[in-house]
Structure formats: C-alpha cells, structure tokens
C-alpha cells in the first residue's frame, strides 16, 4: 500500500516543503490550506504529481474539519502532520497583551490540532496494518518549552505551544493501545514568513530533518518533544 500523508498549512514554508518532499518519496499527499487556488507553488506541485490532492480547509472551522473527515472516511492515513500555525503579534511587552488575539492563536495552535485528531483517528486506525505505524505529528516550537525559556515574553505564542505539548502528551497515552503514535516536533528556526529572514535554516533543511525523525520514530519516542535533528527537548 502506498502510504498517505495528510498535512495542514501546506501552502507555504515548512508545510509546502514537507508536501514536496513526501511527494518526491512516492507518498500520496492530501494537502490542506485555507485557499489552495491562491497558493501557486502548491498548484505547481498538483500539476506535476497525480499523487497530490488539495483541499480548502480552515482548521478553526470544526464543521469543515468534520466534513472533510467524512469525505475521506475510506482513506487510510499513515501520517498526519498538523503544521498550520499562527504566531500572533510580535514586539509587545508585559502589560500589552491583546487577549482577543491570544484566543485566536489558541484556536489555531492548540484547539484545532485536537479537533483534527479526534476526527481523523479512524483514518489512522485504518492504516495500522500497512507496514507503517500511524503517526500524529504536531509542529510545536522550542519556545513552548518552559525549561528552555530564558528570555521571558512571548506570552501568546509560548503558551499556545506549551498547551499543544500537553495535548500531544495526553494523545500519545490515549491512542497508544490503538497503535498510534503522537509526537511534538520542533522544526528549528526556519526562514519562513513566521521565522523571518535571519533564521538559521531553510524550509527544505527543516523538512528533511523532520522526515528523518518521523521515518525512524520508535515506540519509546511516543509522546516526546523532538527537534528536526532528532534531539529531545525538555518540556
């Protein structure tokens, strides 16, 4: 069976790089973003690969997530990468936190990933006996690590990723008996719209590292927080 990747936020940056990388390795890819038709690089890949399908999806629209899961109900998914994320405002200080924006970031970074997992777990269960242990992979961030926080600030993004890590840890326990692994991944500081031009690596380097981590993920790493170089990060 040809393995299938389902990925969110596939229109640019790390999501686009992962989409292209898995296509190059012969996977079927179901790529989701809010406006696929407005993502020229993704459309170029769609014209090049018959193994790529695209779907319009706003991850905060829970009814749309449920509807897509229903449309794909017969499709075994071997790897689901939740890549869609929102940074929120930059440059604010203590005393200047926009709580309305904070809620928006939590909707995308913390709540949506769990909703997606709830609706797509049956698809991963279908893939259990294919030679690929099914995986929920969630793009987190090292800034969500409380033990690594030495600079303070960043209340909105930090807290959304720390909360996501808690979700992933519980998922890894709750889905273990169903043969599904769940892992939090730090992609590195990447030259994307979110990461900025001064970041240390490009999206392709990050994607290659993340794929290597996922290709070699073991049962003992289920529920771990791992960077793109395979190093475990403290919570």
Is the separation of the CB atoms in 184 and 129 below 8 Å? no
Q: How far is CA 44 from each of CA 39, 41, 53, rounded to the nearest angstrom?
A: 9, 5, 12
Q: Tens of pLDDT along 161-199?
A: 999 999 999 999 999 999 999 999 999 988 766 656 666
Give the pLDDT of residue 195.
Answer: 58
* Segments of the chain scoring below 70 in pLDDT: 192-199
Helix 13-24 vs helix 203-215: crossing angle, to nearest 10: 60
111: nearest Cα among 89, 142, 82, 81: 82
Helix (H) or strand (E) holding 234: none
| Residue 176: CB atoms within 10 Å | 14
Instruction: Give the pTM.
Output: 0.95
């Amino acid at each position: 069976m040809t393995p299938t990747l389902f990925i969110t936020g596939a229109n640019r940056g790390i999501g686009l790089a992962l989409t292209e990388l898995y296509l190059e390795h012969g996977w079927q890819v179901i790529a989701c973003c809010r406006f696929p038709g407005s993502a020229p690089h993704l459309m170029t890949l769609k014209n090049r690969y018959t193994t790529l399908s695209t779907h319009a999806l706003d991850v905060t629209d829970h009814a749309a997530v449920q509807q897509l899961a229903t449309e794909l109900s017969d499709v075994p998914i071997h790897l689901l990468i939740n890549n869609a994320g929102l940074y929120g405002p930059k440059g604010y200080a203590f005393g200047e936190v926009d709580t309305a924006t904070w809620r928006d970031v939590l909707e995308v970074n913390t709540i949506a990933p769990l909703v997606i997992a709830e609706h797509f777990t049956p698809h991963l269960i279908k893939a259990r006996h294919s030679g690929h242990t099914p995986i929920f992979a969630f793009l987190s961030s090292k800034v969500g690590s409380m033990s690594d926080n030495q600079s303070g600030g960043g209340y909105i993004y930090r807290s959304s990723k720390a909360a996501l890590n808690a979700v992933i840890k519980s998922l890894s326990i709750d889905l273990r008996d169903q043969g599904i692994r769940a892992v939090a991944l730090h992609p590195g500081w990447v030259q994307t719209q979110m990461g900025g031009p001064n970041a240390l690596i490009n999206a392709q380097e990050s994607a290659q590292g993340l794929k290597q981590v996922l290709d070699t993920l073991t049962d003992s790493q289920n529920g771990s927080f791992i960077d793109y170089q395979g190093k475990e990060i403290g919570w």
